[in-house]
Structure 1
């Protein structure tokens, strides 16, 4: 008896893969999903009510738990045993992998900001990078559907950097904390708005998911489903149709093709046994994350595809982008010794500062082309392993100093847009393989002057806001020192970008590869640009839109 030929095979169970599986099964199609990580059940495995005091080292980071002992990462991180990657000489890049069902959605920040008209057509505005092959109006209804499905709290602000959601889509945001209100007041004096952050955390019940009760950090995972992750929403929903089969510990190494170069399925390593297996499919959807999907394509060489699959343009692995990152923090005297009360909230910032400089850029008043936003930090939080720096003395005086400083520090964390450049890309290392014999990626990386000038502007702005609050900031670091390393923000995109022509892009606007009509990409690799907004909401929105189109093509017999 031969193995079945699946109508659709999806590689990856994170934001793009789970949304593709949800949408395709909802339209009546059978889907096989392959996930490189292990099975994971957040309902039984989430330590929601653990305190830092209950953990080794007071909850500090460990080699496999980079964001604290209880973070929801399973067998993942910037370094994964047996799965190396390399960097070219003079380059520094960090590649985050989440080897678990649900991928990064189990521990992402849940920031859910729509891209705007400015973001989709940046090249038309300033001549840099690439435009997307559609405009905002085409995707706006799909943003509504995604936000309503996953549950996003926030408000319509009326700002040009934050397109509005339709009436009734957004859930109410949580109330701002005192430090956030103080930051907002200081920013307002400088003509800079601060508004509620849009976040995929429920403040009202949705389907069988409960609203957040503001008690434990979202990074632990969320067993009640309030903080969105595919393991408590899209995957159970797709499974409930009876049309989704999931195979975990399945490390896909290549997409298989026939003598004509057309896609026939995939080959993968069963990590439990170490054996290679093949599975046939009419349509293959890669949603393994931008760099993993590009790695699979580059390793899928054949006589018809000597440079890797879907790579006739030579763009697979190119246009690698991450968000810029930098931060500035300070002690605010006005917040010292304030009365104690619960400021847990949904753990991340309730307010943020969106980009306010589109008009200034249009007038040529800024020396960098794309924007950034500030995520705000500062609240009464659970004490952890790291003591407040600069304390002196001991005994009662020291305790009083700690109590005075508790809740008095604030931070402004910059996340900005990066433009693609010729120095940032990934290829395949010709000598290094992982423990299964699969050739690994090699990363090439260099920030450009666009990003360094952006960070310099952001640091100066953050200093002005903090000093308006009464803080003593001191001398600013150079942008080259302040900017995060490539990959460190974990927003890598662009390696299989979509476009309007097979000459300079890998897929069309539907994520369908130009070279192989039955091969799709539905992760951040398809991004034509990397706006300062966190990428997950748009990954899911594109996957929903493009899977609905794919479902129509299958129904019509075109694939």
Structure 2
């Protein structure tokens, strides 16, 4: 590699790392990015036009391809070869790692919902968890910039759970599907509103990215750049500035400090050669994902930082949160045998149900909200077909055809509050292939989340029955709720707050203990609202990298 005088090293190429790299290089700052996974080019590697029928097991999920044979995550998942993690004896937690250039942005659902004023100040409202160290008004202009840069389709709804974007920022949403309109009509009878989902999928061309042509699942990856991933947007944009260099297959072992405890750089393992490489750097940004960044910091203990790097508060690895997840579906009689037509759209739900209960929250037995994502429409057949079937031969085929496109599924995604039982630390006995101590997870849902899931399942049942479905007895929430980490929204392990006594970073993602160490992934979240976290990760990274660029240019860092 040619000599490159970097001013900042960024660990991670996903939502936070790539956005930070784009913002810094745009300002003329030289950035060196390290990615633990392999290089990946979605323009040449995506199986966009492959069908389930062409895949083993009709494309069904397997233990090494959790989301189906053609999922864009090539080498990652909840289990990664040579990279174990552990849990305590009483915990059940799943840790998703992408291990490829672009990180989880190659795989994510691309739901892009702004956190609202009440989301940033939850503790002020109900006394639980922690407030963020800024107001919605402080971050709103950065949401505007992020949505414009990324390309988000949707509409302004005027709902308190969905802050509006300025005119011209959002691209037009796709037309709702027939089953989604039926859901909207049923929900309206109960005072609940269904609206267009905000999604990071282009419905109009933008820069060098084409508009979605509604043909293949976004989860396969997107060679035309319509479905947002950093490998077709932010990383190429950073490259074009001339201020960006990239090293893949670089497994970071630790962040290094001097005798005064100041960060001096980091050490990584070249996974191809197993060589240990030390880099000096004036500034280090960790954006490797909430749990990986916390793992690196915990593994970077030194005499100056005996409990882990930048952990004088004792909050590093604590406050681990995921979104709650549960689901309920049924076959809708009115949708059986409807005419067949192309109902693909941008493959995910076109309408969804945002949280409607903020004003009635005090009457509920749980403190924070949830939303429903909808699974509907004509989908490419796979190894499993929805519906209740009986018979044999021709009659069975007729029944399968009648049920095709007739099911509706409500996927609940809700806010979790931090609790003392949910955290990560370092396993004292287990290391990965490269001798790096692994993360150990501790997990327990609280009554807040279990009561929320019970309410959501009952609401989903009510809506399904309003549409004419027959719904049986609901499972208890302890059985229905997803495992910790299963929704892949883990955040909070290096949270930001106003005080160094109860947080790891300030509002800029700058660690209180080490001014030249920053965290720019979901680890900084002070709470985990029910909305998907990626848009806010990118927005914070843009805002905080912009602030960091100013600090570097002024000579403060």
* TM-superposed deviation, 1:275: 1.1
What does 1:55-94 correspond to in 2, within 5 Å?
A: 55-94=55-94
Give the match for residue 329 of structure 1: 329
Alignment partner for residue 382 of structure 2, among 378, 384, 393? 384
Give the match for residue 533 of structure 2: 535
Q: What are the Cα deviations for residues 160-199 of structure 1, in whole angstroms up to 9, with x where unaligned?
A: 0000001100000000000000000000000000000000
1:498 paired to 2:485: no
* Contact 2:20/2:545 (8 A) holds in 1: yes
Q: What are the Cα deviations for residues 97-135 of structure 1, in whole angstroms up to 9, with x where unaligned?
A: 000000000010000000000100000000000000001
TM-score for the superposition, normalised by structure 2:
0.99
Going from structure 1 to structure 2, the CA distance change for 1:6 and 1:329 (only over 3 Å counts) comes to same
* Contact 2:387/2:407 (8 A) holds in 1: no
Q: What are the Cα deviations for residues 483-541 of structure 1, in whole angstroms up to 9, with x where unaligned?
A: 00000000000000001111000000000000000000000000000000000000000
SS in 1 for 2:7: strand
SS in 2 for 1:552: helix
Distance 2:68 2:488 in 1: 17
* TM-superposed deviation, 1:389: 5.1
Distance 1:51 1:549 in 2: 46
* Contact 2:117/2:135 (8 A) holds in 1: yes
* TM-superposed deviation, 1:431: 0.3
* TM-superposed deviation, 1:240: 0.4
Q: Which sections of structure 2, spanning at least 5 residues, go unmatched?
A: none
Going from structure 1 to structure 2, the CA distance change for 1:502 and 1:544 (only over 3 Å counts) comes to same
Give the match for residue 29 of structure 2: 29
Number of corresponding residues: 557
Give the match for residue 201 of structure 2: 201
Give the match for residue 186 of structure 2: 186
Q: What are the Cα deviations for residues 367-414 of structure 1, in whole angstroms up to 9, with x where unaligned?
A: 110000000111011000113353222222111111111011111100
Distance 1:166 1:333 in 2: 41
Give the match for residue 460 of structure 2: 462
Q: What are the Cα deviations for residues 339-362 of structure 1, in whole angstroms up to 9, with x where unaligned?
A: 11111010000000000000001x
What does 1:21-170 correspond to in 2, within 5 Å?
A: 21-170=21-170
* TM-superposed deviation, 1:64: 2.3
Q: What are the Cα deviations for residues 465-493 of structure 1, in whole angstroms up to 9, with x where unaligned?
A: 00000000111110001000000000000
Going from structure 1 to structure 2, the CA distance change for 1:374 and 1:291 (only over 3 Å counts) comes to same
Distance 1:378 1:388 in 2: 11
Give the match for residue 402 of structure 1: 400
TM-score for the superposition, normalised by structure 1:
0.99
Distance 1:371 1:174 in 2: 26
Distance 1:22 1:78 in 2: 29
Give the match for residue 226 of structure 2: 226
Q: Which sections of structure 1, spanning at least 5 residues, go unmatched?
A: none
Distance 1:259 1:484 in 2: 45
SS in 2 for 1:67: coil
Give the match for residue 415 of structure 2: 417
1:16 paired to 2:30: no
Distance 1:185 1:520 in 2: 47
* Contact 1:265/1:280 (8 A) holds in 2: yes
* TM-superposed deviation, 1:20: 0.3
Give the match for residue 266 of structure 1: 266
Distance 2:463 2:528 in 1: 26
